Amino acid sequence: MSPRGLAARLAALAAWVRREPHLALPALLGALALPVLPVYLGLRQFAPVLAQADPFVYDFSYYYEAAARFAAAPGTLYADPEYLYPPPSVLAFLPTLLLPEGWAYVAWDVLLMAAVAVSVVLTWGLYERATGERVPRGVRAALLLAGLASAPTFQNLHYGQVNAFVLVLALFSLWWGVRAPLWAALALCGGFWLKLYPLALAPLALAQGRGVRHVGRAALGFVLGLVALPLVLLPVVPASLHATFWLERLPAWSGMTSQGALNQSIVGVLTRAGLPAEAALRGLDVPAPEGARLTAAVLGLLLGGGVLAAALLRRLPAETAGVLVLALLPALSALGWEHTYVMALPLVLWLALAARTRGRGARLFSGAALLVFMMPRPPHVALVWAVAHVPRPLLDVALARFLLVTLLAVGVGVAWAWRRPAAPVAT
């Protein structure tokens, strides 16, 4: 490129930063962070894991070892009390056994990055369908840079989690909801059998279109995915595993939460607030106080139920409502880990798109929200220092940053997307 061409490119970039700083600054941060990410993962995660004969990587090793147990003897799937996923989920983990655990973890992370990239593409596609706006190519690139470099994405890679795959299935369900209700329902069922969460979108899958035919096709999808599939799989995934999961494993964990800093759910944050500051350093599982559980339940009913009701009453576009409900899932779960907040990433990106046509305050809020979502939990040494020196109120707010931003973003998203009832036609 000639000096004149380079100068023109730099001038255009500077003009974009001035015009849309809420998107440009996170994108530039992402452009700086993304080249560092594989180096960090390679040195901090991949190299040590590949060098060990018997590695262990939270949470990927839970999946890998569960698949190995299942392949040897299906009835031993839940021998490890830390395996908290529905019985059919193990079928998604079986292919990892084709590789040694270390290399399987590397391949898993590559697929996770691809899933996040597809999720960002689906996010701007759903935004375009809901608003009728066309997202420019440069803005699309900015969303990809910010989304791939976000803290929830990083934590999914760090732990080898499954949340990005759950998210992409949920977004595909929203994408297919109008034109292919059967596939929308099946996508939700696939996500449900991985991690339960996506079934919260079922009302939208049933009502995103119009007419009895649409509802019938969506209902058929749920019957096939939730009833027929487990029955067909009984020779492979025995009924005893379903009994163990639904009657033992799930009830045992329903009243528990984690006190560690990685948990930013309503229940986790309120539980941690009632403990000494040092609790944030230890990711211990503890019983959740009744008040914390009640608070999450009430907010879930008001916020989640309200968003779904507004969509069913055509006050919110179904695509917008789906993104809002997804964002609430990690907040309302008792275990809203930072990697689970990848479910809220589409909403934060959605607001960044919507703010482009709004005032300075809207751009300031959306840009700040996106930057917060690019801040992972600090290293343990820094967290130890913060616990010892940062005033407790500030520490609690910092360790609840995803939760607070998400709850604010849900309110802002509803306000920006709300459809007023049509005025009556004069006669």
Query: In a 3-state reduction of DSSP, which class is residue 337?
Result: strand
Residue-wise pLDDT for 101-127, tens only, equals 999 999 999 999 999 999 999 999 999
Residue 420's pLDDT band, with cuts at 50, 70 and 90, is: low
Write the burial class of residue 72 (CB in 10 Å: 0-12 exposed, 13-18 middle, 19+ buried): exposed
Closest CA to 67 of 54, 80, 58, 48: 80
Residue-wise pLDDT for 5-63, tens only, equals 777 777 777 777 778 899 999 999 999 999 999 999 999 999 999 999 888 888 999 99
pTM for the full model?
A: 0.94
Residue-wise pLDDT for 332-387, tens only, equals 999 999 999 999 999 999 999 999 999 999 999 999 999 999 999 999 999 999 99
Residue 411 has pLDDT above 90, yes or no: yes
Closest CA to 197 of 413, 341, 393, 53: 341
Computed over every residue of the chain, the mean pLDDT equals 93
DSSP 270-292: HHHHTS-GGGGG---EEEPPHHH
Residue 425's pLDDT band, with cuts at 50, 70 and 90, is: very low
Instruction: Show the tokens assigned to 340.
Output: 């689970």
> Could you tell me how many residues make up the chain?
427
Instruction: Show the tokens assigned to 53.
Output: 């004969």
Write the burial class of residue 193 (CB in 10 Å: 0-12 exposed, 13-18 middle, 19+ buried): buried
- Give the pLDDT score at 422: 52
Instruction: Read off φ and ψ for residue 257, nearest 5 degrees.
Output: -150, 180
Q: How confident is the model over 282-306, as a mean pLDDT? A: 95
Residue whose tokens read 């991949």:
46
Residue 423 has pLDDT above 60, yes or no: no
